[in-house]
């Protein structure tokens, strides 16, 4: 998704703005641009493609400027092109960068065109620059014009505005799109993502919806929705360079896969005692509230939704709670009936996914007991807007494909299940069993990571095909779905997941020697049935790659059977995810794709 960075400094800012754009590359983008204030005019550079192309333009132009805004764009309205890249401008005075979507852009554009403003791009963003210039004509101040323009905008936005006539400050505004200020030494910054400016400061101010702020090199001022000057809390955050660099790994995704033992440890640390989950780990009085819960509703997207589907199984078997799960993007469109004493749960790595936030905001209008978030980013909107939150503490996840976020979400959802079971006085022995298993989980994951060499040997068999099928049963069906999602998003191989019993109801027709079938066969009552399903695949020439419990034996012919380390069955969905992540990564390596920034995808999907 788009990324914004802005700086007002006592030194040259061109380089630091471009470095900030580099740090936001992981979010996914298609073009980049920068506007830098100089006395003789604004330097306005844009490129289609990677930030390094913009950097090359900068090296040729050698701008010198202490004030600037920059952007990486992920196309929503208008194709990826230099013309559609930000910053957009109105005459040679107002330059803006924008994240989000302006929903009433058609009518506003028409109105502005009728007033004589000429549009050069197909974006919904350019009109913001014209609107500000229009309102400047009858405003008492620049801030006043921003408020007048804001009143007209419907949708979501974070914007940064550079005015050629003001050599000292940048104005930023936020409405339903993340934006923060960074306080530096002899400089102040603004960005949509703290990682963009983490090398420059550890003091951040997270703006609230409706806020407008003016930053200059030695001061800043924030105004609230009513244009009244306000103070917002300064948050100290240590986002170390280690967390944001690949170290010896080839890709962030690879680093994040191998960080999982540590990440899981951080999720459970301080939240479980010797025999049980600790009280109120979701916030003050969460236990008391959990004792009233009779029903669960989960809404999430993508990988986070898969985590929810696994958890639904735990919630019913350990906490005795019925659970409904929805794609966050669909939830509010089905007029959901809310039963009494229902708890609403969202799951999100970023805490900024627009569909999930929209579902949360809809749920807050309904008769839920409370809202609970499972989230990795403490400063996110989701964290702020939920009644109770559990942070997964996985550390920054940079690779677009979620890995450690998923397994730590699962660990967090197990903690939620245990907390609900405890509050309802259910299954004390089972709770102790799960807590003990959770403590050994980092070690089991370490062992699962050692399967890498075996997986590297099987990867060419998958990488050489264009399609693949993932099979699992019961709680392993969502794990199979997650495996398929990982493979398709980074290797571009078509991958589908099925509950193995469904094969004979249609997908079996797809099986031939060009269809690798990746199956999950943990030891359980379903393993035996799954193995008969796999025999059906084998009989039709399908190549089998089976991840299985050590007790499972079967002839996979030219395929491969890989045994996973033993662990408590309830935790196996977490452990079986590991080889699927490694497989997707190794296959993508063989296919030479852009693993950390796969085509068309964005890390944090901040548009609905
Ligand atoms: C897949 C992936 C996406 C995200 C989804 C939700 O690897 O990363 O499917 O899981 O966009 O994002 P969050 O969890 O940030 O709400």
Query: What pLDDT digit, counting tens, does each position of 162-199 carry?
Result: 999 999 999 999 998 889 999 999 999 999 988 899 98
Contact 21, 208 (CB under 8 A): no
pLDDT surpasses 70 at 295:
yes
Ligand 1 center–CA 570 separation, angstroms = 24
Pocket-testing residue among 349, 379, 403, 597, ligand 1, by greatest number of atoms within 8 A of Cβ: 349
Last residue of a domain, one of 420, 446, 472: 446
Residue 607 lies in a domain: no
Q: Which residue's alpha carbon is nearest to atom 6 within ligand 1?
A: 301
Are 475 and 401 within one domain?
Answer: no
Q: Which atom of ligand 1 is the closest one to the Cα of 305? A: 10
Q: Are residues 187 and 301 in the same domain?
A: no
135: in domain? yes
Q: Can you say how many angstroms the Cα of residue 231 is from the centroid of all Cα atoms in its chain?
A: 29
Q: What is the pLDDT of residue 274?
A: 83
User: What average pLDDT does range 313-332 have in this prediction?
Assistant: 97
CATH of the domain at 487: 3.40.50.10490
Work out how many domains the chain is built from and give that number: 3
**Which residue's CA is the nearest one to ligand 1's atom 11?**
302
pLDDT in tens, 11-36: 999 999 999 999 888 777 889 999 99
Residues marked as catalytic: 2, 603
The pLDDT of residue 241 is 58
Q: Note the pLDDT of residue 290.
A: 97
Residues 285 and 312 in one domain: yes
Q: Which atom of ligand 1 is nearest to the CA of 401?
A: 7
Question: What's the gap in Å between 487 CA and the centre of ligand 1?
Answer: 14
- Residue 168 counted as domain residue: yes
Across 32-46, 127-141, 372-386, least confident range: 372-386
Does residue 41 come out as left (phi exceeding 0), alpha (psi in the -120 to 50 range) or beta? left
Asked if 433 and 492 sit in the same domain, the reply is no
Residue ranges making up the domain that contains 99: 3-236
Query: Whose Cα sits closest to atom 9 in ligand 1?
Result: 302
Q: Which residues contact 543 (CB under 8 A, 6 or more apart)?
A: 461, 513, 515, 516, 517, 557, 558, 559
Q: Pick the closest to residue 500 from 453, 542, 456 (CA basis).
A: 542
| 6 vs 78: CA distance, rounded Å | 24
Degrees, nearest 5: CA angle 373-375-378: 105
Q: How far apart are CA 475 and CA 480, in angstroms?
A: 9
Ligand 1 mean position, distance from CA 300 (Å): 9
Do 118 and 224 lie in one domain? The reply is: yes
CA of residue 596 to ligand 1 center, whole Å: 14
CA distance 168 to 166: 6
Phi, psi angles (nearest 5°) of residue 471? -125, 140
Q: What does the pLDDT read at residue 531? A: 84
- Across the chain, what does the average pLDDT equal? 93
Tell me which residue has its CA closest to atom 5 in ligand 1: 302
Question: Looking at the domain assignment, is residue 603 inside a domain?
Answer: no
State pLDDT tens for residues 386-428: 999 999 989 889 999 999 999 999 999 999 999 999 999 999 9
Orientation angle between helical segments 260-268 and 428-449, nearest 10 degrees: 160
- Give the pocket of ligand 1 (CB within 6 Å): 301-304, 348-350, 353, 356, 401-402, 485, 489, 604-605
Q: Decide if 498 is inside a domain.
A: yes
Single pTM value for the model: 0.79
Looking at the domain assignment, is residue 600 inside a domain?
no
**Which of 202, 199, 200 is closest to 241 using CA atoms?**
199
Alpha helix positions (H), 278-403: 286-290, 302-319, 328-331, 354-364, 381-385
Structure tokens at 6: 């802005």
Q: How many CA atoms lie within 13 Å of 207's alpha carbon, on the beta-carbon side? A: 36
Answer with the one of 390, 415, 446 that is the final residue of a domain: 446
């Amino acid at each position: 998704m788009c990324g914004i960075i802005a700086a007002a400094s006592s030194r040259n800012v061109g380089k630091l703005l471009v470095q900030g754009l580099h740090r936001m590359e992981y979010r996914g983008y298609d073009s980049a641009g920068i506007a830098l204030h100089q006395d003789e005019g604004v330097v306005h550079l844009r490129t289609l493609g990677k930030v390094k192309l913009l950097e090359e333009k900068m090296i040729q132009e050698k701008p010198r400027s202490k004030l600037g805004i920059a952007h990486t764009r992920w196309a929503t309205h208008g194709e990826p092109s230099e013309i559609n890249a930000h910053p957009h401008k109105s005459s040679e005075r107002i330059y803006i960068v924008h994240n989000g979507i302006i929903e009433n852009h058609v009518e506003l554009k028409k109105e502005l065109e009728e007033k004589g403003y000429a549009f050069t791009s197909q974006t919904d963003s350019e009109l913001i620059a014209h609107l500000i210039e229009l309102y400047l004509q009858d405003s008492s101040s620049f801030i006043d014009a921003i408020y007048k323009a804001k009143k007209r905008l419907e949708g979501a936005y974070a914007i940064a505005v550079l005015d050629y006539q003001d050599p000292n400050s940048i104005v930023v505004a936020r409405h339903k799109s993340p934006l923060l200020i960074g306080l530096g030494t002899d400089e102040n910054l603004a960005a949509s993502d703290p990682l963009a400016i983490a090398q420059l400061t550890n003091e951040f101010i997270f703006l609230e919806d409706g806020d407008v702020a003016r930053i200059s090199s030695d001061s800043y001022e924030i105004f609230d929705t009513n244009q009244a000057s306000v103070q917002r809390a300064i948050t100290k955050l240590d986002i170390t360079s280690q967390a944001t660099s690949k170290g010896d790994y080839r890709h962030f995704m690879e680093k994040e896969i191998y960080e999982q033992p540590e990440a899981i440890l951080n999720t459970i640390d301080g939240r479980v005692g010797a025999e049980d989950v600790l009280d109120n780990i979701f916030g003050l009085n969460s236990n008391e509230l959990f004792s009233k819960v009779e029903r669960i509703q989960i809404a999430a997207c993508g990988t986070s939704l898969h985590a929810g589907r696994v958890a639904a199984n735990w919630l019913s078997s350990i906490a005795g709670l019925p659970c409904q799960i929805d794609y966050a993007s669909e939830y509010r469109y089905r007029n959901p009936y809310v039963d009494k004493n229902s708890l609403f749960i969202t799951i999100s790595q970023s805490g900024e996914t627009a569909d999930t936030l929209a579902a949360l905001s809809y749920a807050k209008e309904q008769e839920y007991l409370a809202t609970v978030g499972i989230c990795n980013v403490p400063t996110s909107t989701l964290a702020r807007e939920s009644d109770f939150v559990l942070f997964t503490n996985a550390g920054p996840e940079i690779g677009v494909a979620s890995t450690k976020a998923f397994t730590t979400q699962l660990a967090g959802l197990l903690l939620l299940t245990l907390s609900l079971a405890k509050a309802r006085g259910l299954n004390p022995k089972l709770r102790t069993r799960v807590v003990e298993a959770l403590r050994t989980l980092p070690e089991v994951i370490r062992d699962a990571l050692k399967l890498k060499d075996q997986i590297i040997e099987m990867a060419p068999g998958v990488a050489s095909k264009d399609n693949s099928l993932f099979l699992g049963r019961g709680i392993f069906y969502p794990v199979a779905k997650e495996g398929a999602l990982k493979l398709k998003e980074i290797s571009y191989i078509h991958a589908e997941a099925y509950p193995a019993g469904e094969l004979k109801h249609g997908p079996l027709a797809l099986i031939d020697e060009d269809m690798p079938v990746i199956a999950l066969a943990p030891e359980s009552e379903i393993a035996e049935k799954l193995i008969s399903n796999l025999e059906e695949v084998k009989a039709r020439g399908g190549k089998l790659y089976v991840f299985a419990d050590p007790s499972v034996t079967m002839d996979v012919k030219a395929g491969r059977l890989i045994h996973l380390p033993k662990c408590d069955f309830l935790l196996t969905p977490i452990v079986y995810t590991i080889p699927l992540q490694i497989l997707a990564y190794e296959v993508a390596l063989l296919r030479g794709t852009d693993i950390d920034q796969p085509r068309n995808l964005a890390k944090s999907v901040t548009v609905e």
